[in-house]
Amino acid sequence: MRWLLLLSELNPIAKQCGDLLEVAGQTVIYNYHQGKSSVQDIKDKITNEKPDRIIVIINDTNSSILVNTISDHLLIPLYVAQATINSYSPIPVLVLTCTTNDNNLNIIQNATDQLLNIHPNIVNARLLTPISNDNINEKYFQTLWESNPDEYHYITILSDILPILLALIHDGKVNGHIDVCNKGKISLKDFEKNNSNELKSQTNISQIIETEDITDKFEKWTKQMISPETRQLYQASFILPNVLKSIEQIIQEESITIDANASKILLVTGGCGFIGSTFINYWLETYPNDHIINIDRLDPVANTKNILQPNSPNYSFIVADIGNKDIVLHLCRQYNITHIAHFAIQAHIDSSFGNSITFTESNVYGTHSVLEASRIYGKIQKFIHISTDEVYGETPAGSNQEFCLLNPLNPYAATVAAAEFLVKSYGESFKLPYCIIRLCNVYGPRQHIEKVIPTFITNVLQGEKLKIHDDGKQIRHYLYVDDVINAVDIILNKGKPKMIYNIGTSNELNVLDIAKYILEKLHSNQQLDDITSYVKARSFTEKRYCTTTSGLIKSLGWKEQVTFDQGLEKTIQWLKSNPDYWTK
């Protein structure tokens, strides 16, 4: 969808709305009216931009110039109402205002409320003391309530409430005026006790009862007027979040946040595999003050030679199975682990059909073992879980975003999906700060020759035929490994906890395309038909996977750097220089 944000100037509410929309893959257009728009100006803007939804964000302060105040708080919302209601299909509009102690401003806002109520396409939401996560601290609350620390107040924690409001206006099933805040009330004294761990996490029942009249309508909307798909898209809570519990969780998350420049001690699982070893090599070179502890049981697709600096004083290697929770816990305690990057996974799809139980043992039980060790240890600052786009299942058309339902169609993908649910459950139940990264097909140097790109390159170099399953028209997306590691770096250092990140690419190729690319790169005079051997299709093969790159990772600064042509060239040159890498 296209969202038009109308505002006089950028403020924290507008910024959070824009960020949330971009994370959800929406197109955001900002328009700064500066209190000088007319109905025709807004109509022209709607005609040109063609928005599906509009958000009007009204300043929470009173201008020293009365005309500007009336324009921002009264005229602009009414102009938008008039400009949108006359269309054949009225555009859903969200008007966001804030509570104020200014009597003159209250008079204007009340007039606005009355006039907007006649428009069926508008949700007029008044935020009761909106507060961003950055302002949840004693100093800020003192500036609000120091004169009466025992008085209870309604507050709106923006990170809790804005996703709900965006989901409501996305579905467009509600309209009218509504007061918005978290469940429960809080005083300065309560906050000070909560901050010093003197107050239990349960909210005083009387305070919940007092707010029922305020939050009943909003809570009803929250539960009944948002579709499951939209709720997942915006990560909108089903239950209206309780103010004290939210504050407690935010403070807890802040307490484990450390300086990004401080040294880290990372436990890397599966660090001798293709992606895990590339991560270790990159990290040792990029962050010389950090330490890496690599645990790997050395399956056939792993290789200790993948580690370029095995004698580094900042690197330790332990041959062990992550399924042994006690070993993982011992390593966490012995090395004072701060972060975990969980790459250990069985990923050979052919094997998952013939010996699928081992995939459950490695991918599900192994992940659960690492999670349980993390829970007991209790000091993990971020848990990075590497997953796959195959959890979405086949994608005949379009592409998958993070909110799409999972539909794994082979045993390998099913075990990876199960592991994801375990990670999420530990995040909810035990407050483990996790990030899940779903990757498309990754390729590059040191990848095991079981995978299609190194297999085909090796076959052509050795004069062997290319074995192609079925018709070779299975479509996948291929991303060079260095771009993947760059994304993991950004998410580990800057990623928000409890988020899922798709890392995709525009390189959509089928198996025959890859074979042609490799023949061209190697300047082979042979025709594709002369060197291919078509064999029986796998027990089950999805025709196409396609994933949309996360809007959130883009907002953190990631973008694909290596084209498929460049990445393939690098991979070919490495295989030419290391022809016996996997045979000796």
Catalytic residues: 389-390, 412
Q: How far apart are alpha carbons 484 and 274 in whole angstroms?
A: 12
CA 112 to chain centre: 37
Residues 263, 266, 272, 276, CA torsion sign: negative
Classified as helix, coil or strand, 552 is: helix
Nearest one of 92, 88, 116 to 170, comparing CA atoms: 92
Distance between start and end Cα atoms, the chain: 54
CB atoms within 10 A of CB 296: 26
Buried b (16+ CB within 10 A) or exposed e, 67-88: ebbbbbbbbbbebbbebbeeee
Q: What are residue 285's DSSP bridge partners?
A: none
Residue type, position 47, single letter: T
Q: How far apart are alpha carbons 18 and 563 in whole angstroms?
A: 30
Q: What are residue 516's DSSP bridge partners?
A: none
Neighbouring residues of 92: CB distance < 8 A, sequence distance ≥ 6: 53, 54, 121, 122, 123, 169, 172
Q: How far apart are alpha carbons 527 and 535 in whole angstroms?
A: 18
Q: How far apart are alpha carbons 485 and 481 in whole angstroms?
A: 6
- β-strand 475-480 against 508-510: which pairing, if any? antiparallel
Q: How far apart are alpha carbons 385 and 419 in whole angstroms?
A: 9
Strands (E), 85-134: 93-98, 122-127, 130-131
Neighbouring residues of 385: CB distance < 8 A, sequence distance ≥ 6: 342, 367, 419, 420, 423, 434, 435, 436, 437
Q: Is 343 left (phi over 0), alpha (psi -120 to 50) or beta?
A: alpha
| Tokens read off for 256 | 């484990």
Nearest one of 110, 152, 133 to 13, comparing CA atoms: 133
